[in-house]
Amino acid sequence: MKQLDSQQPCPCGRLSGAGKAGKPLAYGACCGRWLEPSAQSATPPDAETLMRSRYSAFVLERAAYLQESWVASHRPERIEFDPATKWLGLDVRAHRVTSDTTAEVEFVARQKPANGPAVRLHERSRFVRETGRWLYVDGDQL
């Protein structure tokens, strides 16, 4: 598991303020609120924030958080990481609430495996809210 100082820019790339003119949020003020052990009871308030925190969890190799934020019916038994993979960024393209308990987030995540070219994952992810908590269900690659 990788560590990140709470004052460093958050891996998810969320900016303060509106549009692309804002400054990058610090990890502690962004995804760190959900990923760090001191935040065990806190849950992201919407599907986009959950998706961003899951991206940061992949960057920081937080398997337990990823599994806890995955709906039980689709959750893998194990999550493995390649420590040599370099995560290059996240671009959230759209966030759409589809009902009181469902939402979709379209994003592009970029990574560079140790032995290969950079890869883009363009996905429309589905989320569900169960007992007040947003969970990742699955996604379609675009």
Give 10-residue mean pLDDT values along the chain (142 residues).
Answer: 92 83 90 83 91 97 95 96 94 97 98 94 98 96 96
d(CA 129, CA 138) in angstroms, rounded, equals: 13
Structure confidence at residue 20 (pLDDT)? 67
Structure confidence at residue 42 (pLDDT)? 78
pTM of the full structure: 0.94
d(CA 54, CA 11) in angstroms, rounded, equals: 10
Contact 95, 48 (CB under 8 A): yes
Phi and psi torsions of 26, nearest 5°: -70, 145
